[in-house]
Structure 1
Amino acid sequence: MPIKIPRELPAKEILEEENIFVMDEQRAASQEIRPLSILILNLMPEKQKAETQLLRYLGNTPLQVRISFLRMASHESKTTSKNHLDTFYKTFEEVRDKTFDGMIITGSPVEHLDFADVDYWEELQEIMDWTNDHVTSTLHICWGAQAALYHHYGIDKHPLSKKCFGIFEHDVLTPKERLVRGFDEVFLAPHSRYTTVSAEEIKNHPDLQLVAESEKAGVFLLASKDGKHIMATGHLEYTASTLKEEYERDHARGVNTEIPENYYPDNDPDRRPKHRWKSHSSLLFSNWLNYYVYQETPYVWGGE
């Protein structure tokens, strides 16, 4: 089934070329179906890339999904045009009185800062509090996962000695958990971060469950026991080329980032990396949408 997005959204053409089923608002309005209403708080600097990455997997399920994008009013984007934001994004004040079946809070390149030093932290805290009563389930990604752990559960992030950067193996710790239904016992996922969270603190928290972990990359998937908050510290939404683009960008800026681990064939940056985590990316998003959103949300619940 399709995702419902604005007809003019740039991601629409890209997704259609990839044979992802998308439906513009006019066509969707003619169907007698109540789509799932998903709000995406996009904190990534390259917002159009993040939009396409997320929509690619949200559109790969049997469920019809209506997408709304949210931006921070307390932060001025330097890398996305004002016209794009004004056309496709809402502020929190515009959605405060609405309810949503699901929400995604993305990562953000601010992990070098203490949470309180992020210029939109107060607004983000208000939004995260709001999700408890206005969203059935929220999926938090990378820094968004660390922010949720800190805000909702008091578990802080910790700096790493070097960037966790590459494709890592992960073990499924709770195979009966709905979030990892269909997963292999060991699966690959990308990471790109300078901070981490403690597995022991998560295991010892009465409201949390650690779902998947990597020997080298640490905590990856975890969930609140009520399913309200799902957290992924890596980036299953990344394409095969995303880490390559980050690596080349860092070096262009004079940042001596090491070659992403287990990424380039034969560790050679001149060779094309292969997409080896796509199937588990699809499973993660479809499991979240089905078991934590669709199966849990009431029919009459949902924002416009």
Structure 2
Amino acid sequence: MPINIPNDLPAKDILESEKIFAIAASDASRQDIRPLRLIILNLMPKKIETETQILRLISKSPLQVVIDFLMVRSHESKNTSSDHLLKFYEFFDQVKDRYYDGMIITGAPVEHLAYEDVDYWQELTEIMDWSRSHVYSTLHICWGAQAALYHHYHIPKRLLPEKVFGIYPQRLCDEYDFLTNGFDEIHDTPHSRHTAIDEEALRQVRQLAVLSRSDTIGSNIIVTKDYRQIFLMGHFEYGKETLAQEYWRDVRLGKPIQIPYRYFPDDDPNKEPILTWRSHANLLYRNWLNYVYQMTPYAIETIELIQEPIGTSGKDAHGYAHAFRK
């Protein structure tokens, strides 16, 4: 079943050129089902590129999904036209009375700042608190994941001596977990970040479980025991050329940047990179949407009645997630 997005959203033509069909709202309304409702809080500067990357993964589900886009009012986007934002995005006060099956909070290039120094931090925390009662499951990406872990669980971040930049192999902590069902025991994930969470602080939060991790760069996929919150430290949504574009951007700007790890063949940036994470990215988003579809109440407004308070006991963060489901 295709995703339901506006006909003139720039991502629509790109997806259709890749043989990914996006259904028109008029056609979707004739289908006698309740589609999943998702909202994407897009904090990335190049919003159209991020929209396309995320919609590409959402579209691989057999479910019909209706997408809303959200932006913060307290920050002015300088890399996306105001016409695009006004046409396709809404502010929090316009959506706060709605309920959603799922939400995605993207990363943002503000990791060099303390969380409280980010100009939209107060608004973001209000949205994250709202998501606990108005969204069944929220998926956080990279800085969005670090910010949510800090806000909800007081897990701090630390500045890394060298940027984590490239394609890093991750090992599953539980090969039978629902969210990573179908994953190989080792799976690649793109990373591009200057900070990491405090792993020792993570281990102290008994409600959180790590589903995959790397011995060199730490935890990769983190979840609450009920999957109401999912934290992705990397960028499964990245396209084949995304890291190359980041690399050459920094080279042109004269910034110190290392060649992305395990990305270019023979570490030669003049060679075309090989896409090695697509199947796992598709599986992750498909598993997430399938779980949300099966678990969200049909009367979506009753979500707030089943929220689980932060701090309930579970296994240690380094334990196996399946221990939560006796």
- Structure 2 residue 175 is matched with structure 1 residue 175: yes
Shift of 1:176: 2.3
Alignment of 1:159-174 (within 5 A): 159-174=159-174
1:296 alignment partner AA: M
Distance 1:99 1:254, change over 3 A: same
C-alpha contact 2:156 2:201 (8 A) present in aligned 1: no
- State the TM-score, normalizing by the size of structure 1: 0.97
Alignment of 1:15-30 (within 5 A): 15-30=15-30
Partner of 1:295: 294
Q: Quick one: percent identity of the two aligned structures?
A: 52
Partner of 2:101: 101
Partner of 1:126: 126
- Structure 2 residue 11 is matched with structure 1 residue 11: yes
Partner of 2:154: 154
1:2 alignment partner AA: P
Q: Which shows bigger deviation, 219-228 or 129-138?
A: 219-228
Alignment of 1:201-216 (within 5 A): 201-216=201-216
Partner of 1:117: 117
Question: What CA distance in whole angstroms lies between the structure 2 residues aligned with 1:140 and 1:156?
Answer: 16
Question: What CA distance in whole angstroms lies between the structure 2 residues aligned with 1:147 and 1:212?
Answer: 19
- The number of equivalent residue pairs is 302
C-alpha contact 1:198 1:219 (8 A) present in aligned 2: no
Shift of 1:302: 6.3
Question: What CA distance in whole angstroms lies between the structure 1 residues aligned with 2:64 and 2:28?
Answer: 9
Structure 1 gaps of 5+ residues are none
Partner of 1:81: 81
Partner of 1:191: 191
Structure 2 gaps of 5+ residues are 303-326
- Structure 2 residue 266 is matched with structure 1 residue 270: no
2:4 alignment partner AA: K
Shift of 1:246: 0.3
1:229-276 alpha-carbon deviations (Å, 9 max, x no partner):
000010010011000000011112221110001000000000000111
1:59 alignment partner AA: S
Question: What CA distance in whole angstroms lies between the structure 2 residues aligned with 1:48 and 1:263?
Answer: 24
2:221 alignment partner AA: L
Partner of 2:53: 53
Shift of 1:204: 2.4
1:118-139 alpha-carbon deviations (Å, 9 max, x no partner):
0000000000000010000000
C-alpha contact 1:264 1:273 (8 A) present in aligned 2: yes
- State the TM-score, normalizing by the size of structure 2: 0.91
C-alpha contact 1:189 1:235 (8 A) present in aligned 2: yes
Question: What CA distance in whole angstroms lies between the structure 2 residues aligned with 1:174 and 1:151?
Answer: 26
1:34 alignment partner AA: R
Partner of 2:141: 141
